Amino acid sequence: MTRPETAPVRPGEELPLDALREAMRGRVAGDVDDLSALQFPGGFSNLTYLVRAGDPARGGQEYVLRRAPLGPVPKGAHDMVREAHLLEKIHPVLPVAPRPALIVEDPAVIGSPFYLMERRHGTVVRTRLPAEYRDLPDAARRMSGALADTLADLHAVDIDAAGLRDIGKPEGFNARQVSGWAGRWRRAREALRDTGDLPAPDDLNDERVIAWLEAHTPPESAHTLVHNDFKLDNLMLDPADPGRVTALLDWEMTTVGDPLVDLGLTLTYWTMPELPGGAPNEVGAASPGFLGRDELVARYAARAARHVTSDPQSHLAALERALPWYEVLGHFKLAVIVIQIFARYRAGQTSDPRFAPLAGQAGWLIREAWRRIREQDARA
């Protein structure tokens, strides 16, 4: 059975519809006097809602509202105003990026700055092949190709022509990635110091992972748009064609930097088995019909090579030599993301039961990063 795309709003995460109605009045299309909201329940970070202004069957409009999670958030994180302004620039040059419709910076309206964007329709694939694709014999391969191709197209955006170069500092990007994520990890770990949720540092090898990343940081391979959380369930796919992407979502951490940081994190998601406390993962490199890790890299390289070289094979060989560092960084970044969410859960800032196993998942990711480092050092 296919999981519903939306659900009733979780208790404690309701929107103040009266205030939202007045913020929308005269600024967006639709009957704001007939305003309702449901929640997209799949995400683990920002809160995302389906807002209806009138009945869509009678000319009403649907919007997606995004706001930061409840409770204190790290400085600079969950900046929905920045995300919306980025989409204003990215949408015209990369149509899979949704168009923002309204940006509200005043936190007094709903408790946090937020924005509305156009609603896109499509299928989001998480850990299982959805029912609409199960009778398509090549569905898994087609969506695998769409994943690789969309990432390559994202990295092909002309950041200068689109006015996007100044959204980040590409020089020194990789070194800042390591120092920034290491600082976030250490702060979250300190917040959990007396809880027993994480193994001791010497058992987990987290500081050894950080030291290896610091010691082996490469120069940037190129300067491109970087999504920073590119994965299959941030794509919406055509329900009738799993090879066609209708939307790329979650642009919060987008910047300009090294495109292989994106590819490394994508491969982290793509090659993960079931994590502690998580749902069985039937989507990705280890599942029948999907592109394996090496095939996904080759597909990405073939499409990306059109923009950087006339020799796809040399481009693929260079990617494979470079990728181990980026894949270790991908595992470490994802560990930081989930431990930050778990720390908020442990502090009582959210009661979402999905967050309970995240400390175990963070620990697995750190141990996997360390295992890969030892393999890489053994080959060196």
Summarised one tens digit per residue, pLDDT across range 314-324 is 778 889 999 99
User: What does the pLDDT average to over 139-157?
Assistant: 97
pLDDT of residue 273: 81
Q: Which one-letter DSSP state was computed for residue 131? A: G
Q: Are residues 152 and 78 in the same domain?
A: no
Of the candidates 231, 236, 241, the residue with the CA atom closest to the CA atom of residue 117: 236
Q: Is residue 1 part of a domain?
A: no
pLDDT (0 to 100) of residue 1:
37
- Please say if the pLDDT value at position 277 is more than 90: no
111 and 129, same domain (yes or no): no
DSSP assignment of 162-230 equals TT-GGGS--TTHHHHHHHHHHHHHHHHHHHTTTTT-S--HHHHTHHHHHHHHHHTPPPPS--EEE-SS-
DSSP letter at 332 equals H
Give the confidence band of 368 by pLDDT, cuts at 50, 70, 90: very high
pLDDT at 294 over 70: yes
Pair (86, 233) in one structural domain: no
User: Which of 68, 92, 118 is a domain's end point?
Assistant: 118
Total domains present in the chain: 2
**368/328 Cα distance (integer angstroms):** 8
Predicted confidence band at 75 (pLDDT cuts at 50, 70, 90)? low
Range of the domain at 169: 123-378
Residue 112 shares a structural domain with residue 140: no
Q: Do 131 and 238 belong to one domain?
A: yes
| Residue 132 and residue 59 share a domain | no
**Whether residue 67 has pLDDT greater than 80:** yes
In this prediction, residue 276 has a pLDDT band, given cuts at 50, 70 and 90, of low
- Provide the CATH number for the domain around residue 104: 3.30.200.20
pLDDT surpasses 50 at 347: yes
Residue of 315 and 106 predicted with greater confidence: 106
- Higher-confidence position of 9 and 1: 9
Distance CA 77, CA 68 (A): 8
Q: Looking at the structure, do residues 207 and 247 belong to the same domain, yes or no?
A: yes
Q: What is the mean pLDDT of the chain?
A: 92
pLDDT at position 365 over 70: yes
- At residue 372, the pLDDT reads 96
| Chosen domain end from 118, 138, 156 | 118
